Amino acid sequence: MTGEDLDGRIGEGWGGVGHNGCHVNVVLARRGTATAAALLTTFTSPAPGHTPILVVVGEDQQHYEPVWPPTIMINKATATTPEHETITWGAGQLGIAQGVLDAVAASLLEASDDVLVFVAAWIDPGARDETAVRIASREATFKGVSVAVRGRDPAAARALVDRRDSLTSPFYRGG
């Protein structure tokens, strides 16, 4: 697919288990489009506890390398403690980088600057296992990019429509 074909595509993914899991929303944008402009506005609009970053990897600040395609990460869970900040921008960021690079290795994306990858990641404030969070973030990101690029399985989408009257949510307590 070309950058034009990918512009505005969205996906989501979950990886891991429980407190050390990760949920992501992924948006792809072709450079120079309204979608990219909106994502870059988010990138330049931090809020207390929510810091959008350009995803980088490396052993220290002198050796950081940005992931390609350019990937912007923002946290969905407000980071208010040093532990949550460290696991979000450490393990979470590294897992997101690996998930995007897995997508490049699988030929879902190209390692170019034609497409921007935006990842909004939820990492539980109670997460404590950095390795589990890294693996979960990697898995969730690859799934999210895969759905964005390939689209949703039509049979799964239809099955959801068919079950619409019996759907539940872990956050719904009504009758």
pLDDT of residue 172: 87
Backbone φ and ψ for 51, nearest 5 degrees, come out as: -115, 110
| Cα-based distances in Å from 14 to 24, 121, 145, 173 | 7, 10, 12, 22
| Residue ranges for the chain with pLDDT beneath 70 | 1-3
pLDDT of residue 155: 93
Q: How far apart (Å, rounded) are the C-alpha atoms in residues 102 and 120?
A: 18
pLDDT of residue 158: 93
Q: Nearest CA to 47 among 80, 93, 81? A: 80
pLDDT of residue 43: 79
pLDDT of residue 123: 96
pLDDT of residue 3: 64
Residue 101's contacts (CB-CB under 8 Å, 6 or more residues apart) are 67
pLDDT of residue 124: 94
Backbone φ and ψ for 123, nearest 5 degrees, come out as: -125, 125
Question: Which is it for the CA torsion 1, 138, 10, 146, positive or negative?
Answer: positive
Q: Nearest CA to 76 among 110, 125, 116, 115? A: 125
- Judge contact between 64 and 103, C-beta under 8 A: no
Give residue-wise pLDDT tens across range 4-33. Answer: 789 999 999 999 999 999 999 999 999 999
Per-domain boundaries in the chain: 3-166
pLDDT of residue 2: 62
Q: What's the mean per-residue pLDDT of the chain?
A: 92
Backbone φ and ψ for 73, nearest 5 degrees, come out as: -115, 140
- CATH code for the domain defined by 3-166: 3.30.230.60
Helical segments of the chain, H only: 3-6, 34-43, 82-87, 93-105, 130-150, 154-162
pLDDT of residue 1: 63
